[in-house]
Structure 1
């Protein structure tokens, strides 16, 4: 992505970018670099605070451990929300870069809608195939993260969904913690999927531009 931003800057310096297309793509690309760093920091912070959570039940936690658990939850949720945020930003870049006109299909489209649009238009099949393969490889963790993201945004705090289920089983029973280790594995795989998708998209784009004579 950094290389792409350099190529864009070079083209702007050369041609003054009268339509402002290059500067828009440069800003989007630099924004993705920042967003990826924020996502990775969220994962690292969630891992850090999870190490201080040793109790198996919420009711058994000390005040200090409750604080560490709350910080873990914050960064974990921040992480899985950012996974889909970055993917959607990448979808916006790809839609604009390759003239997919995805908004005609769905006004507020997601990254996954953009992938379907590539397939529908039979456009840039090499890139589309690569991105689809990455998506399919991480299908299981992505589905888990998407479910938690949707719960968090539309229903209730995602970490409390298990609490509600346990309350249905027994009103006076202690609340058992969610599987923090598995949740972090899912998030790490989500981050990996994002990284691979970004790398594939920008590698393909750089290759196209270099073939057309744009070189850093």
Structure 2
């Protein structure tokens, strides 16, 4: 959607994004087959199908935010807003918008997956915390000592991206609970020097952080739905 608005060609799915989307699509096919064969009187499979479609949309939206943030970052040339003309200021504002939307969506995509995991594997996370996050769900695997292969792989991914997730989480919390995250950078600079121009934050590093957050979500989704398919096939064959 955003690519067409920006005059760019449609996305060509490839790499881990394509693999993650394929894994979710194949899971939906398995659910639909189960619904067709057994009518799904409890509507459990229908609910999982709808939730999985929601995860597909969430991953697409995160990828589009990353693309748009990168697109507008490339249009920012000056190191200070004061030096920009009106067009560059507008492009910088668009970069900020999609960058912030992106790092918020990283955790939104993970938390939605947490809801699906909790339902799929009956992890009873709501008894620990009413409004739980993906990371709370992840701890439930170890607590109940269930699905150690999946839990171990998901923990390994989390640890690999720990530093990036901490950076994005701090920015998300600042944005959601305190002040606009880019204004926190401005405030820090004002503490360092009361006069002079405010230099922009490191936009390239921010994009790299967002890209790694997106990569972490893709790897997590692929791991979960690859495991779901393997487990499903074992049940069918048994």
Q: Which residue of 2 aligns with 1:78?
A: 101
TM-score relative to the length of structure 1: 0.97
Q: Which residue of 2 aligns with 1:164?
A: 187
> What is the distance in 2 between the residues matched to 1:198 and 1:79?
17
> What is the distance in 1 between the residues matched to 2:112 and 2:189?
37
Match of residue 52, structure 1, among 40, 53, 75: 75
User: Shift of residue 99 of structure 1?
Assistant: 0.3
RMSD: 0.9
Q: Which residue of 2 aligns with 1:18?
A: 41
Q: Does 1:40 align with 2:63?
A: yes
Structure 1 residue runs of 4 or more that deviate by more than 6 Å after TM superposition: none
The unaligned stretches of length 5 or more in structure 1 are: none
> What is the distance in 2 between the residues matched to 1:131 and 1:204?
11
Q: Does 1:153 align with 2:173?
A: no
* Superposed CA offset, 1:9-45 (max 9, x none): 1101111111110000000001101110111010000
Partner of 2:236, secondary structure, is: coil
> What is the distance in 2 between the residues matched to 1:49 and 1:77?
13
Match of residue 98, structure 1, among 108, 113, 121: 121
The unaligned stretches of length 5 or more in structure 2 are: 1-23
> What is the distance in 2 between the residues matched to 1:34 and 1:211?
28
> What is the distance in 2 between the residues matched to 1:196 and 1:110?
18
Match of residue 143, structure 1, among 154, 157, 166: 166
User: Shift of residue 198 of structure 1?
Assistant: 0.3
> What is the distance in 2 between the residues matched to 1:172 and 1:66?
21
